[in-house]
Amino acid sequence: MTTPFVLTFRPGISVVDDPEQGAVLETPRSRLDLSHLSPSFLASLRQLSDGGATEAELTQMAMASGGFGELPKFHFFLTKFVRLGSICYSLYEADSSTERVASKRASSARVSSEPSPFAKLVPSARSVAFSPKSFAAVALDQGFRLSRFAYCRSDGGRMVLESPAAQATIELGDWRGGAIATALGQAQTGQALLEMIPMLKAETVQGFLSLLHSVGMVLAEDECESEAQRQWEFHDLLFHARSRQGRTQQVVGSTYRFREVEDSDSIAPLPVIRPQPQAWETVALPVPDLESLGDRPFTEVLESRRSIRTYNPEAPITLVQLGEFLYRSARMRQMFQMEKMNCSDRPYPGGGACYELELYIAVHNCEGLDQGLYHYCPEKHQLGRVRGWDGELEQLMSDASHATRKDESVPPQVLITVASRFARVAWKYESIAYALMLKNLGGLYQTMYLVATSMGLAPCALGAGNADLFAQLIGSEYYAETSIGEFTLGSAPADLADEPKLMMMEPVDWEA
């Protein structure tokens, strides 16, 4: 028989006394009037925000003055709180559980002397399906293994066990919880864990395994992932779950969490335009006359858009063409103030008008422009020369050739590396910053594809690149600015029909 779990409200939820309303339940999103509840029922809710109690103890408190008539109402409220992800479950060891009950009845010194739980389940989602009754006791001879999605990290001075496949996090009270998680890297029975890790009681191991199993942190030996889940990689599922609502109760959206406040955590936002060092030699780019371009119809451009990985070596892309391409794709059209930061307007869509993306142009063969690495300034429509051609830049171009399945000895005429000034977005947005940058990158990619197609150039977006190497090339801190995308560009081959169509399939007769 395992030790009963102690229920508490999750952090940020508490019962307070309002001078006008009386007892009120405060949450990060709302306030709930509790003044109509009986004193005993109200006392049970207060206990949830002041140390907690087992479900049996809370039930007794609710019945103290109202008798059995209070039970339906109490369980309705408790079930509602559980489904909203408002209730945490703490596992105490057998001895410390007795101490907790004793200290709970003691004087105001209780808070400082109350023992810490061995583990605490904190819901990370609303509409969770578990309850104390779902924490079925496990047999000591039953084998379990840690989910491949589970990971342990430090958070606010405590160790937590998390998983993007779970709807809760587990706060670990001491090193033994981490030791159990480590041992479960291979399937282990509860009995094996008792023999492996000192100072553990059978009830604690059973309760901890029950807690982990209830949220999918561990799987029984005979359990398997679904076919759909098996196809997710750890980092992909973690990124998906933590940058979307549903499996996190973290704040999501434009919170401006680093704006000027009274505490010392305030950080100034990055400027709209990345300044080019004075040491950089600048190259003014030609400005096209947009009214006299004579573009093909939009639908024709859209339908003919494709990735082209070969070029015309006899007539490489020119400085005039590169200038037109950058002007039509990524120049800054205007700057303006929006809410709490300066923003800009550009041809491609950018979330929150932050425009954190920076374009670096690696030139191998461009008529009118020396080889080297350049930075594009969207405000002045000019290039700043970062460095000349060298071995590291050659490696970057070689990687790009490999990504396009071409001969690495024949690099692209032009490689555009899209870097991100991460703090430009993270200053405004919480939880979704990196996901938003990738969406902005997709918008930029499509804009560059359409402009290049309209101009008759050869465009191709790449799937991966070396972010560490690129940060070294531009002399930037990896966490401040580095690459998140690559795009090759050049003159289209003389006979475009000879360009191989990768990944193309024969038409399918769906009626057959």
Among 34, 66, 83, which residue terminates a domain? 83
Does the residue 266 lie in any domain?
no
- How high is the pLDDT of residue 253? 83
**Neighbour-count burial of 441, counting CB atoms closer than 10 A to its CB (0-12 exposed, 13-18 middle, 19+ buried):** buried
309 shares a domain with 239? no
440 shares a domain with 341? yes
- How high is the pLDDT of residue 385? 97
325 shares a domain with 196? no
| Cα 228 from Cα 226, distance rounded (Å) | 5
172 shares a domain with 56? no
- Produce one character per residue of 28-62: b if its CB has 16 or more CB atoms within 10 Å, e if not: eeeeeebeebbebbbbbbbbbbbebbbbebbbebb
Query: Which is nearest to 207 in space by CA: 149, 78, 121, 148?
Result: 121
Does the residue 88 lie in any domain?
no
Does the residue 52 lie in any domain?
yes
Length of the chain: 512
229 shares a domain with 147? yes
Among 83, 110, 134, which residue terminates a domain? 83
| Block mean pLDDT (10 aa), the chain, length 512 | 82 88 85 86 90 91 80 87 90 68 44 76 78 73 95 92 93 94 96 93 93 92 92 93 80 81 74 94 95 91 93 94 98 92 95 96 96 97 96 91 74 95 94 95 98 96 92 95 96 71 50 54
- How high is the pLDDT of residue 504? 44
Among 36, 63, 83, which residue terminates a domain? 83
**pLDDT tens-digit readout, 281-295:** 999 999 999 999 989
426 shares a domain with 379? yes
Q: CA–CA distance from 129 to each of 4, 125, 147, 214 (Å)?
A: 19, 10, 19, 9
Q: Check: CB of residue 467 under 8 Å from CB of residue 481.
A: no
430 shares a domain with 333? yes
127 shares a domain with 73? no
Does the residue 510 lie in any domain?
no
Does the residue 512 lie in any domain?
no
Reported pTM: 0.84
Q: Where residue 432 sits, what CATH number does that domain have?
A: 3.40.109.10
Q: CA–CA distance from 27 to each of 16, 159, 234, 393, 486 (Å)?
A: 11, 25, 32, 54, 45
133 shares a domain with 47? no
325 shares a domain with 227? no
Does the residue 112 lie in any domain?
no
No. of helices (H) and no. of strands (E), the chain: 16, 24
Query: Which is nearest to 149 in space by CA: 86, 59, 225?
Result: 225
412 shares a domain with 313? yes
Residue 362 DSSP SS3: strand
Structural domain range at position 37: 1-83
Does the residue 245 lie in any domain?
yes
- How high is the pLDDT of residue 412? 92
**pLDDT tens-digit readout, 23-60:** 899 888 788 888 888 888 888 989 998 889 999 999 88
Structure tokens at 284: 């003014």
177 shares a domain with 70? no
Domain count for the chain:
3
Does the residue 1 lie in any domain?
yes
